[in-house]
Structure 1
Amino acid sequence: MPVIRHAREDEVGALTAVGLRAWEGAIVGLADVGRMRRLAENAFGDFLANHWLSVSLIEVDGRPRGWAARENFDEMISDLWIEPEAQRRGLGGRLLADIELRISNDGFDAAKTKTHAKNTAAIGFFRKHGYGVTWLSTSYAPKLDRDVEYIGLGKPLAVTDLGLYGR
């Protein structure tokens, strides 16, 4: 049975490995995975070491199979990564629903995210879960030394009734 919970600092290494394996599939067609792998591994490790408090993970049989983050504790989902062999089993949807609930409970009326425009799997995943395209932009990616198209996605969330007057 999958369990969703907050990450712990001692799980940074395991979550880095999960993110890196998922990233390898997401970056295909955009960059040379082999050339970028070490840079990506360091980026995941640094992010998780500094932001593990913003991370929720989903585990199956005591093993992390995916994670999501709200880097700034706002409405933006900065990361959502599921182990490639665990994809298409509903784990991403469960993790997304959990993070959307957290966003709503924190008083935001919409959830937002972004990805590169060639990441059709992620775009399809978010669209399947009710997200619509909110913007498209091109910007220079220094690590790739080229312009990259990014797509923004958003979903209105039901406001949780906190039982407060006037809400």
Structure 2
Amino acid sequence: MQQEFGVFPHEAKGEIFVAELAGEIAGWGAWEGERNYVSDLWVHPDFQGRGVGRALLLHLCELMATERLATVRVDTHARNERAIRLYERCGFSIIWRGIEFSKSMGVPLEKVHMEKKLG
């Protein structure tokens, strides 16, 4: 799984923002597909709890605000409590919770959709 995350920034087709600390990739955020959708946010376990995810997420929100978008959306697994708390601290609210089929994993997953109003 870790290797997949390491490869993603090199293969993604959208805009990827990489955070580095001490010369190492600490995390990245991706803005792929819909213009107001944060498609991916990942922080290496060694760097979690140091503000990397918050900095990446707020940077993506600022970029979307400059494009005059009304909202930013993000999704996560419903059991990913750390991610949900991060998103809530950054101004996101849960707008939907339910079961959704994951195309990449090929199974139904319990997900939450979150949204933040801009401007």
**TM-score, structure 2 length as denominator?**
0.85
**Which 4+ stretches in 1 moved above 2 angstroms?**
43-48, 139-147
- Which one has the bigger helix percentage? 1
User: Cα distance, 1:47 vs. partner?
Assistant: 7.0
- CA RMSD in angstroms comes to 2.3
User: Cα distance, 1:145 vs. partner?
Assistant: 5.4
Q: Match of 1:102?
A: 63
User: Cα distance, 1:61 vs. partner?
Assistant: 2.4
User: What secondary structure is seen at the aligned counterpart in 1 of 2:37?
Assistant: coil
Letter in 1 for 2:83: A
User: Cα distance, 1:68 vs. partner?
Assistant: 0.2
Larger radius of gyration, structure 1 or 2?
A: 1
Letter in 1 for 2:61: E
Number of aligned pairs? 119
- Which one has the bigger strand percentage? 2
The answer to whether 1:118 aligns with 2:79 is yes
The answer to whether 1:45 aligns with 2:26 is no
**Aligned pair in 2 of structure 1 residues 133, 87: CA closer, same or farther (>3 Å)?**
same
Identity, in percent, stands at 24
Q: Match of 1:54?
A: 15
User: Cα distance, 1:44 vs. partner?
Assistant: 6.7
Give unmatched runs, 5+ long, in structure 1.
1-19, 22-37, 159-167
Give unmatched runs, 5+ long, in structure 2.
none
The answer to whether 1:66 aligns with 2:27 is yes
CA distance in 1: counterparts of 2:38 and 2:103, whole angstroms: 22
Residues 9 and 16 in structure 2, CA contact (< 8 A), matched pair in contact too: no
CA distance in 2: counterparts of 1:124 and 1:94, whole angstroms: 15
**Aligned pair in 2 of structure 1 residues 131, 61: CA closer, same or farther (>3 Å)?**
same
**TM-score, structure 1 length as denominator?**
0.62
